[in-house]
Chains A and B, each alone.
Chain A
Amino acid sequence: MNTPMIEMQVARYSPERDSQPYLQRFEVPVKPEWVILDALNYIKDKLDGTLTFRWSCRMGICGSCGYMVNNEPKLGCATFLSQYLPGPIKIEPLRNFPVVRDLVVEISDFLEKLKRVRPWLIHENGNGAGEYLQTPSQLEEFRQHSMCINCLLCYAACPISGLDPVFIGPAALALAQRYNKDSRDEGAEERMAILSHPEGIWGCTFVGECTKVCPKHVDPAGAIQQYKLAAAMEGMKQFLMPWGHRQEER
């Protein structure tokens, strides 16, 4: 039996040659076990070696191979080619990021935002040495939000990330909430001061698409809404007890 072929329309952009991206067509065989990443590697190996795209682990762990597949943000390694038969499949770089070349986007703005939310364990008396015990139920509190692989599909799905460049965005805010919910962390108050701003949690208008596209079920939209609720409660406590209020020990 002949292997079916599918047309792939891949976005190409060379900063030195093109004023804007264009789509290039390729015919690719559809093998049952092939994913989008296999098809892109087939193009690079057999059809056009100049095609540039990020990838690494091929197993949904590294978060490198996020592309727009038929206008939906998807992981290239976790999206089967056969589900798009008879085609065509349009592959473009992730939306809401500047394009460096072909399917490669510039992510340094995200990395700066990620650092700003202080995604590490904070201890009031410096970094404590030794063990921090945690029960399974305490782990369950934040485990879901800790599954993020920084693939940035949520930024590509979030219209606010595209429209408002200062918005910190879903993954970074979810990660902040992941540390806030960690029983070993004491930095919730510090993060709240940074994130309870229009460019932080209040920039989110709860479109909810970040949660739908997340390949790791991190639920950034839920994390941000929970963060908003906590911030509102905190604001209310400060309003009712202006003479002095300290956040409860976690």
Chain B
Amino acid sequence: MSRAGQARAPIRPSAAPQPETAPTYTEFHPRWYRPPISTYWWLGKSAYVKFILRELSSVAVAWAVALLLVQIRAISSGGDAYTRFLHRMSSPWMIAINIFAFAFLMLHSITWFNLAPKAMAVRIRGIRVPGLLISGPQYAAWIAISAIIFAVVLTR
């Protein structure tokens, strides 16, 4: 006897709520549900928030570069122009923006150095070099260059 000829056992009713209207069947193709993505999807998880902050930190980098160019222009324009530049920089809102930008620059740099070991799979005698040996020298160079700049600025 074929399977189709067998009497089928009754299907147990589902515990799910019963439909108010008759079910509508989609011919040939099931109707997929495509979950919508909220604009604020990145607020749902701390890792996503960190990622968005890291992406936003590029704005702070652009700000720092623009500021450096303006500073160089002021220096090349003579003493008066540079005094005006320093005066503008000492305004409270400019200090606040720069503190904010500095925090983002730190985030940008640290996440960049932490990325380096991921992107560089260096192997010596078949053994992968630990991440610390790749990011460590970069941190060391960063600290050393910062120290030299501090020394130059402070002993001026």
Q: Which residues of A contact B (CB under 8 A)?
A: 12-18, 20-21, 24, 47-50, 71, 95, 98-101, 106, 136-137, 140-141, 159, 162-163, 205-209, 212, 219, 221-222, 225-226, 228-229
Contacts and interface: CB of A to CB of B under 8 A. Distances in A.
Contact of A207 (B33, B48, B125): B48
B73 interface: no
B47 A17 contact: no
Contacts of B123: 137, 140-141
A140 B126 contact: yes
Contacts of B23: 14, 16-17
A106 to B, nearest CB: 6
B12 interface: yes
Classify chain B: how many residues form its interface, as a range: 20 to 34
A132 to B, nearest CB: 19
Contacts of B16: 12, 14, 24, 48, 50
Nearest to B24: A16
B10 to A, nearest CB: 12
A78 to B, nearest CB: 21
Interface of B: 12, 14-16, 19, 23-26, 30-35, 37, 41-42, 44-45, 47-48, 51, 55, 115, 118-121, 123, 125-126
Nearest to B25: A16
A115 B118 CA distance: 26
A99 B51 contact: no
B47 A208 contact: yes
B122 to A, nearest CB: 10
Contacts of A47: 15
B31 A16 contact: yes
B51 A207 contact: yes
Contact of A99 (B32, B41, B42, B121): B32
Nearest to B55: A205
A15 B23 CA distance: 9
Nearest to A51: B14
A208 B111 CA distance: 11
Given A16-B26, A140-B126, A229-B120, 5 more contacts: A99-B34, A159-B51, A205-B55, A207-B47, A222-B121
Contacts of B35: 21, 95, 99
Contacts of B24: 16
Nearest to B51: A207
A159 B26 CA distance: 30
9 contacts: A15-B32, A17-B19, A17-B23, A21-B35, A48-B14, A98-B33, A100-B32, A222-B121, A229-B119
Given A163-B37, A221-B118, A15 B31 contact: yes
A98 B41 contact: no
Nearest to B14: A50
A162 B25 contact: no
Given A71-B44, A205-B51, A15 B115 contact: no
Contacts of B45: 71, 209
Contacts of A13: 33
Contacts of A71: 44-45
Contacts of A12: 16
Contact of A226 (B19, B120, B126): B120
A106 B32 CA distance: 8
Nearest to A19: B33
